[in-house]
Amino acid sequence: MFQVGSGERFKYKTEVKKIYPNAVCKKVTVNGYLGGTIFYSSLYAVHDNGKRISGAFRSAEGAWSDVWCKLENEKR
């Protein structure tokens, strides 16, 4: 439905807000362990009423699109 570069990618948030009107995108901190080093990374995830409904992504757009894809898969 949406194509990168067409300007339509920002409609993910609008479509998700129709189903989850209270949804917000927040920065989350993810802890990891790589090569003997502990690291912390700030990523974005969509939350609805305190419950995380998306994965963690480097961009807010990625988090919104993840929720939209999940909604589309539920329709099938």
pLDDT in tens, 33-56: 877 888 888 899 999 999 999 999
* E-strand stretches of the chain: 24-34, 37-48, 51-52
Residue 33's pLDDT is what?
A: 82
In sequence order, the 6+-apart residues with CB closer than 8 A to the CB of 55 are 45, 63, 66
The pTM of the full predicted model, rounded to 2 decimals, is: 0.78
**What are the structural domains, with CATH classification, of the chain?**
8-75 (3.30.160)
- Give the range among 22-26, 51-55, 56-60 with minimum mean pLDDT: 56-60
Both tokens of 30, joined, read: 């993810």
Compute the mean pLDDT over every residue in the chain, rounded to the nearest whole number: 86
CB distance 67 to 51 below 8 Å: no
Both tokens of 35, joined, read: 């090569």
What is the DSSP code (8-state) at residue 21?
T
Give the three-class secondary structure for 17.
helix
Query: Is a pLDDT exceeding 60 seen at residue 58?
Result: yes
